[in-house]
Structure 1
Amino acid sequence: MIRVESLYKSFGEEPVLKGITTTFEQGKTNLIIGQSGSGKTVFLKCLLGLFTPEEGRIFFKEQAIDEMNIDQQRKLREDMGMVFQGSALFDSMNIEENVMFPLRMFSEKPREEMLERVNEVLARVNLEGVNSKYPSEISGGMQKRVAIARAIVNNPSFLFCDEPNSGLDPRTAILIDNLIQEITKEYNITTVINTHDMNSVMEIGENIVFLEKGVLAWQGNNREIFMTDNKNVTNFVYSSDLFKKIREIQIKEK
């Protein structure tokens, strides 16, 4: 679990996050959504420790980051997995080397044990037998699955995903969403996903944080979001013809 209390972050005279208080639940897919400029990327970077807030606190497993010593902060970083927007695979490394990279960074296991773990997570994302291929030789969807395998290879307690469906076709995006949700539940991870993809909200939005101009404007799940009276949320959700039709159907069925 991750708990955030009264988080403020500014750049110069420009406030970006304005007193956010929320909880991201363990074993659930927690989504951060909002319009461009709402502060969701800055919020994610604060959770990752890349930005330091001026005020407020972030707790991982009930321990505040600002109370951790250097060793504790290092162990926390080791306990985090990250799926980047563009997969961020190393072009000069094959798939096996890419997935093994966190193990080489954070463990002293023999290579045989590391390879066994690499093959285990590749099998988990349905990518057996691609070890010797390079990122340029596989599809965008496969690259995302490799990125997920790399993110979970160290058995993290916390998984962060930044726009994991960026650049994917709708069918592949749904497969990636489902894979992330399955892994979250299987390993009982606290997963936080920064996204603008409403399909992800529909498919896996178990706990959704909606930001509006740096403020937490709404929080709920993927059932509640379609029935909220919050105008900022409804404007965001129903900005496409698809969701206008969904709204009409739901109102008729009530």
Structure 2
Amino acid sequence: MIKVDNIKKRFGEEEILKGISTVFEKGKTNLIIGQSGSGKTVMLKCLLGLFQPEEGYIFYEDQAIQNMDEEQQRSLREEIGMLFQGGALFDSMNIEENVMFPLRMFTNNKKADMLNRVNEVLARVNLEGVNKKYPAEISGGMQKRVSIARAIVNNPKYLFCDEPNSGLDPKTATVIDNLIQEITHEYGITTVVVTHDMNSVMEIGENIVFLKDGKLVWQGDNEAIFKTDNKSVTDFVYSSDLFKKIRDIQLKEQ
């Protein structure tokens, strides 16, 4: 569980986050959504400790990240998995080496033990037998699955995903969404996904935080978001042709 308590973040005179409080729940896919410029990425970087908010606190379980010493922050980093927007695989490393990288960074495990773990997580994302291939030799969807394998190889308590479906076709994006949700439930991870993809919201939005102009203006799940009368939310949800059609169907059925 991650608790955010009235965080504010500014750059110069511009206040980006304006007193956000919320809870990201363990064992659920928690989504941060909103239009460009709403503060999603800044909030993600605050959660990761890359930005320090000027006010407020971010608690991992019962400990505020701002009060952690260097050793405690290192321990926390070992408990975090990160799925980057572009995958961020190392082109010069094969798949096995990419997935093993966090184990080399944060553990003193024997090579055989690390390899066993690499094979376990590759099997979990349905990628057996690709160990010696390089990122350029596999598809974009497979690269994302490798990135997920790398993100969970250290058995993280917390998983952060930045636009995980970026650059993927709708069918592959759904596969990635479902895989993220399955892993979240299976391992009891606190997963936070930053996305603008309404298909992801519909598929895996178990706890959705909607930001607008640096404020949290709505929170709920993927069923409630289609029933809310919050204008900021409805304008965002029905901004695509697909969801305009869904709304028209819903209105006809009433």
TM over 0.5: yes
Q: Distance in 1 between matches of 2:161 and 2:66?
A: 23
Query: Aligned runs of 1:170-209 on 2, under 5 Å?
Result: 170-209=170-209
- Corresponding residue of 1:76: 76
- Corresponding residue of 1:227: 227
Question: Structure 1 stretch 244-253 or stretch 105-114: which is displaced more?
Answer: 244-253
CA RMSD between the two structures: 0.8
- Corresponding residue of 1:135: 135
**What's the CA shift for 1:250?**
2.8
**What's the CA shift for 1:252?**
4.1
| Superposed CA offset, 1:12-58 (max 9, x none) | 00000000000000000000000000000000000001100000000
**What count of residue pairs does the alignment treat as equivalent?**
254
1:158 is aligned to 2:163: no
- Corresponding residue of 2:62: 62
1:169 is aligned to 2:172: no
**What's the CA shift for 1:191?**
0.2
- Corresponding residue of 2:11: 11
One-letter amino acid matched to 2:138? I
Q: Distance in 2 between matches of 1:171 and 1:252?
A: 28
Query: Identity, % of aligned pairs?
Result: 76
Q: Distance in 2 between matches of 1:63 and 1:147?
A: 28
Q: Distance in 2 between matches of 1:46 and 1:66?
A: 10
Structure 1 consecutive aligned stretches of length 4 or more whose deviation exceeds 2 Å: 248-254
Q: Distance in 2 between matches of 1:243 and 1:111?
A: 50
One-letter amino acid matched to 1:97? E
Q: Distance in 1 between matches of 2:236 and 2:25?
A: 24
| Superposed CA offset, 1:152-204 (max 9, x none) | 00000000000000000000000000000000000000000000000000000
Q: Distance in 2 between matches of 1:249 and 1:207?
A: 25
One-letter amino acid matched to 1:205? G
**What's the CA shift for 1:96?**
0.1
One-letter amino acid matched to 1:73? Q
**What's the CA shift for 1:253?**
4.1
| Superposed CA offset, 1:104-135 (max 9, x none) | 00000000000000000000000000000000
Q: Distance in 2 between matches of 1:62 and 1:205?
A: 25
Q: Distance in 2 between matches of 1:5 and 1:119?
A: 39
Q: Distance in 2 between matches of 1:151 and 1:241?
A: 34
**What's the CA shift for 1:251?**
3.6
- Corresponding residue of 2:96: 96
Q: Distance in 2 between matches of 1:247 and 1:124?
A: 37
The TM-score normalised by the length of structure 1 is: 0.99
**What's the CA shift for 1:66?**
1.6
Q: Distance in 2 between matches of 1:116 and 1:129?
A: 13
- Secondary structure of the residue that 1:203 maps to in structure 2? helix
Q: Distance in 2 between matches of 1:146 and 1:250?
A: 39
- Corresponding residue of 2:237: 237
- Secondary structure of the residue that 2:5 maps to in structure 1? strand
1:146 is aligned to 2:146: yes
One-letter amino acid matched to 1:209? V
One-letter amino acid matched to 1:59? F
The TM-score normalised by the length of structure 2 is: 0.99
Q: Distance in 1 between matches of 2:59 and 2:252?
A: 43
Structure 1 unpaired stretches of 5+: none
- Secondary structure of the residue that 1:96 maps to in structure 2? helix
**What's the CA shift for 1:248?**
2.6
| Superposed CA offset, 1:64-86 (max 9, x none) | 11221111110000100000000
**What's the CA shift for 1:249?**
2.6
- Corresponding residue of 2:123: 123
